Structure 1
Amino acid sequence: MSSTRSATYRDSLTLPSPLHQAHAQAMYPPLTLERARFSGSRLVFDSADGFARGIEQGFFLLKIPQGMVCAAADQFARQFYLPDDGYREMEVPGLYQGYFDRPHDQWENFYIERDNWHLLPRAVAMLGTQLASLGLNVLRNTFAYLELPAFDWPRISSGLTDNCGHQMLAFNHFRCAKNARGCKFHRDSGWVTVLRSTEPGLYAWIDGQVRAINPLPGYFIINFGSSFEVLTERLATPVRANIHGVAQLEPRPVESERTSYTLFLDSALDGNLYQYRNGRAVVVQSVAQFAEQEVARTYDQTARL
């Protein structure tokens, strides 16, 4: 299917790329993100309209549950790219997995899907399972908030709501000595992303302007992906999958370069993408076609998305 004729293809947008961190910090104010936490399996926002604002902005902060320890994964993110660590050369079974060196970006990363988490250090795999549980609860709570019929959830999510689907860990490192953008502005293609970041550098295009998406100690950053935006586009309360990227970072000692990691929740590649029309969830594209379309736009060398 030609991407320009795809039912899910959005008009191209030219964004300020690359952003330079020192300039961006001075030019683009941080977005005030809504804060939420889990009470049991229920997602609770600090403010009365927090859920609505999070859906509108496409981002919110989620309090790290008591007892969840990120230290092992933090350390893994600081080491996966080292030549002698073993993960650069590791062959990970499956599509879109393993080590990637992005030629147009400071960004390099390591992707690994849940079926392969046994290849990770045990404590890192354990945190991945916990992050997936958090993200799945965000997904279910958002479906409930939107009043989508519960019997539709497994079908429209390719089984994610039943803990199936595509669950991917991604570890990121930004090589500050490389004269390139941090990473291209893009939309995540899936449903929910759980981001562990500890320093500024992330920016998003929200309401026609660039805003900083800064981390807060003790919180993960949650953002919604394009599958949610496509599904809800015609609903009274559409979920936004806002464009975001990392600014170009100035040189600094290698041991203090920016790292982060994310948990992506997506539909299985053999599934379908749906949209609610007149109260019914209808198929608009295969997930495989959608993924190919979005990946091509995310990693190319242009400033257009």
Structure 2
Amino acid sequence: MTTPNSRTARALFHPDTARPPVSLPPMPGERQARTAYPAVDLERSRIDGDELLFEREGGFDRALAMGFFLLRIPEGLDTDAGDRFAAHFHEDPAGDALDRYRGFRDTHVPGDYQGYFDREHDQWENFYIEKGNWPLLPSEVAALGHRMTGLGIDVLRAVLRHVDVPPHLWNEVSGGLSDHGGHQMLAFNHFRSRKATRGCKFHRDSGWVTVLRSTEPGLLALIDGELGAVNPEPGCFIVNFGSSLEVLTSALPRPVRANVHGVVSTERPEGRPDRISYVTFLDSALDGTVYRLDEGRAHPVQSVADFAAQEVTRTYDDDGAL
């Protein structure tokens, strides 16, 4: 990922998208986090046709305000291939059956914001790959990516409907994503416990919807001014909303929150596997526009390219501020 330096990024900051600074504590280790931060009571949901259904009355609106919720993994959607890829993509080939999931540090992926990244300031190491390059992945991993992005787009369309965004504007304001275009990215994460630093910096996702596969606690989020643990549940994805959706709905009666979140420092005894996770990031096409909806009209705010540069720098730098 090509990351602009901080000076360039500050020049791109837009008052409608940068948002005021947020004061946060240093990212704790996982043992400290377990005792210091209670679990958030997440809303639970499922997709039924084109509907996003929540278990509790009022759950949809609470999920929009929290910025996070649990989504049941549909029957027949197998996450095993993604779990294997996330556990091994960073390794060198070893001459066994898992080699088809290894060696991706050296894989050239064409296009911006893609390929392998060794994060200087974080335990994170990542492999990012956009939909057009998924043929480079094992076929079962690519198939999982298509299922996860389909779920995320179903969520997006349900949210736009719920907050009364006129349907004739969906394609325009989402940069084609609502009609299965836009920018669909798979991102695989390995947290290196032997690296004595934070797991990943507190940040907001820049796009529309993120669908996360995680199997253990460690994700913290700032909700209603308090940090809490956003813990996974078996059989569910964690879904969170991105800044493009927050900006679009900021003037609506039911705005959507893109809440700040990050991952604790992973601590492991010798021999225990490191933390892994993977997500689909769903965003507008990079040549598109970020909009704000007001009185039924879509108002252009900032180019997606400038918005991405602004948000990327704040996600991966080491200044401790957001």
Q: Is the 8 A contact 1:191 1:266 kept in 2?
A: yes
Q: Is the 8 A contact 1:17 1:184 kept in 2?
A: no
Match of 2:182 in 1: 165
Report what 2:139 is aligned to.
122
Instruction: Map Cα deviations across residues 233-289 of structure 1 (whole Å, 9 max, x no partner).
Output: 111111000000000111334651100000010001100000012321110000000
Secondary structure of the structure 2 residue equivalent to 1:37: strand
Match of 1:53 in 2: 62
Distance 1:253 1:118 in 2: 35
> What residue is the counterpart of 1:9 in the other structure?
18
Measure, in 1, the Cα distance between the counterparts of 2:266 and 2:272: 14
Q: Deviations over 1:151-208 (max 9, x none)?
A: 0000000111111000000000000011000000000000000000000000001111
Provide the secondary structure at the position in 1 that maps to 2:265.
coil
Distance 1:81-1:58 versus aligned 2 partners, 3 A rule: same
Quote the offset at 1:6 in angstroms.
4.1
Structure-1 residue corresponding to 2:312: 295
Alpha-carbon distance between aligned partners in 2 of 1:108 and 1:65, rounded to the nearest angstrom: 29
Tell me which residue corresponds to 2:90: 81
Deviations 1:199-231 (A, max 9, x none): 000000111111000000000000000001100
Match of 1:251, SS? coil
Residues 254 and 226 of structure 1: CA distance in aligned 2, closer, same or farther (over 3 Å): farther
Q: Which AA in structure 1 matches 2:116? A: Y
Aligned length: 305
Superimposed CA distance per residue, residues 4-52 of structure 1 (whole angstroms, 9 cap, x where no aligned partner): 4543111122311221111111010000000001112211110110100
Quote the residue 1:304 is aligned against: 321
Alignment of 1:52-201 (within 5 A): 52-84=61-93, 85-201=102-218
Matched, 1:257 2:266: no
Pairwise CA RMSD: 1.1
Counterpart pick for 2:41 among 23, 32, 35:
32
TM-score (norm 2): 0.93
Task: Indicate the residue corresponding to 1:227 in structure 2.
Answer: 244
Gaps of 5+ in 2: 1-9, 94-101
Q: Check whether the contact 2:124–2:189 (CA below 8 A) recurs between aligned residues.
A: yes
Residues 174, 258 of structure 1: 8 Å contact kept: yes
| Identity over aligned pairs, percent | 54
Ranges in structure 1 where 5+ consecutive residues have no aligned partner: none
Query: SS of the counterpart of 1:203?
Result: strand
Alpha-carbon distance in structure 1 between the residues aligned to 2:148 and 2:259 = 21
SS in 1 for 2:18: coil
Match of 1:273 among 290, 310, 320: 290
Residue 2 of structure 1: CA displacement? 2.0
What code does the residue aligned with 2:253 have? A
SS at match of 1:7: helix
Partner Cα distance (1:143, 1:206) in 2: 22
